[in-house]
Amino acid sequence: MLDGLAHLGQGIVGILTLESLLNVAWSTLLGIIVGALPGLTATMGVALLVTLTYKMDPNQAILCLLCLYVGAIYGGSRSAILINIPGTPASAATTLDGFPLALQGRAGYAMGVATTSSALGTVVGIVLLAAVAPALAELALRFGSYEFFWLAVFGVVISGQLTSLDDPLKGYIAGILGLLIAMVGMEGIHAYQRFTFGISELGAGIDLIPAMVGAFGFAEILNVMKEKLGAKPITTSDRVIPRFADVWQYKRTIVRSGIIGTIVGIIPGVGEDIGAWASYAAARRASKEKELFGKGSVEGLTAAETGNSAVVPGALIPALTLAIPGSAPAAVLIAALFIHGVRPGPMLMIENPTFVYEVVAILLLATVAILVYGLSLTKLLVRVLLIPREKLMPVIYVLCVIGPYAITQRMFDVWVMVAFGILGFALRQMKYPMAPLVLGIILGDLLDTNLRRGLVLTNGDPTPFFTRPISLILCTATVLTILFSIPLVQRLVRQALAGLRPRRAGG
């Protein structure tokens, strides 16, 4: 313990130089901008920045990459709250309560809550990264194909239920549609092309970024075009910095979401979006104000932003100790570490025992930076809401086109964005939620690959999917989630609980 504190102190002192502070300032701000622009993800930002850091000092290069990663995950909440378009997939859950708060004239306050929640979520993750990295990384090793399959199913089910509270069936249908879309293209085990219908461009599958930008961005543009022009612009609240009492009120939500996000980050390949959804689900179950979720709940916004930010330190736990990425940006970071002479893996703690604590110090500085930028720039960003939405949409449309095209330089991805925009607009008119659709696309490959890999390992025997301890827990949670979304089951449970109360009182 004392050695750890000593290493942490050395790490903090080592990066408190003028050069380091300047690099933290510009790279975190760049990350916020990348995250706020629809279509430019944290993964893309980190990947592009790696190419610019080849000739930098290794320590400064790693510092810049980590700060951009933290900033990008936080930055996605800006567009999610202001224009109902998540800047990154990690901010999809933020739209559920962030944008309704903006419509209520509380955009500044919503962005302040998102800022403090992101900072506190990162701090919770940092504490766990510094304290229990080896033990938590060992737990992630227990996840095999069977567990990943149920994790994907559970993610889609939770998202479907939480984003369509009045009719969970619509959420499930949207999620299953996303899973089906993820099946398009070449599958990973036998390299067989599926559902391409002779279109060669579909051989590579439907990319997430064009689909997400279309479903959230272009669909929103079409929705604004359908509304009457000259609609009353959204008013804003002057208050930005949340009161201490407001933050303290949700202390349990913050701690719970931070722990959930960190644990989700440890699980290889899952990512920030699942951390946000899992935290949001847990917060709604425990909340005394369940009816406000999805309609402008401060607690829901707090949970989503705390959860996705806590995933960042969590994802670094297996990345540093096992060389297994906990998220897509963490995978790029592993490559960058090798480029700059750092070998992540079990030997890292022996070869470079202070490195993990240097990463902790960098994350702490990045957290301070997003807190400063988030609270100081909020009033500037919130002025976007004063612009009539029909005048803002052409700018958003340009960004929706540039984002998908910039990644692959293929016009096909632009057409995919347009197609998903039209599909998303049609589904919105029928009151189907968009988040499960996008989440289904994200998790589709994880579900499909691990289902078939698990069956290959057992020669077609599905028993391990239901008998392995972690698989059984995830399977049970999924089934119970579906059952409790059925009105008949809810009534029967309420009746059973009501019948037990008199007996307990009499006993």
Confidence of residue 484 (pLDDT cuts 50, 70, 90): confident
Confidence of residue 419 (pLDDT cuts 50, 70, 90): very high
DSSP for 137-206, written as a single string: HHHHTT--HHHHHHHHHHHHHHHHHHT-SS-HHHHHHHHHHHHHHHTSEE-TTT--EES-TT-GGGGG--
Check residue 387 and give its pLDDT: 63
* Domain presence at residue 287: yes
Average pLDDT over residues 383-393: 64
Domain that residue 365 falls in: 2-385+392-467
Check residue 504 and give its pLDDT: 47
Average pLDDT over residues 184-188: 82
Helix, strand, coil content of the chain in percent (nearest 5): 75, 0, 25
Give Cα 368 distance to the centre of its chain: 21
Check residue 230 and give its pLDDT: 46
CA distances from 277 to 72, 226, 338, 387 (A): 18, 30, 32, 31
* Domain presence at residue 404: yes
* Domain presence at residue 497: no
Q: How far apart are CA 332 and CA 312, in angstroms?
A: 13
* Domain presence at residue 277: yes
Average pLDDT over residues 101-128: 86
Nearest-10 Cα torsion for 365, 6, 342, 140: -80
Q: What is the pLDDT of residues 35-44, one digit of tens each?
A: 887 766 787 7
Check residue 129 and give its pLDDT: 83
* Domain presence at residue 473: no
Check residue 8 and give its pLDDT: 61
Q: What is the pLDDT of residues 346-373, one digit of tens each?
A: 677 677 777 888 888 889 999 999 989 8
Q: What is the pLDDT of residues 116-143, one digit of tens each?
A: 888 999 898 888 887 776 565 555 567 7
pLDDT score of 165 more than 80: no
Q: How far apart are CA 34 and CA 47, in angstroms?
A: 12
pLDDT score of 429 more than 50: yes
Check residue 160 and give its pLDDT: 73
pLDDT score of 166 more than 60: yes
- In 3D space, the residue among 385, 85, 315 whose CA is nearest the CA of residue 223 turns out to be 85
* Domain presence at residue 474: no
Q: How far apart are CA 252 and CA 230, in angstroms?
A: 43
* Residue scoring higher pLDDT (267 or 507): 267
Q: What is the number of structural domains in the chain?
A: 1
pLDDT score of 293 more than 90: no
* Domain presence at residue 255: yes
Confidence of residue 501 (pLDDT cuts 50, 70, 90): low
* Domain presence at residue 501: no
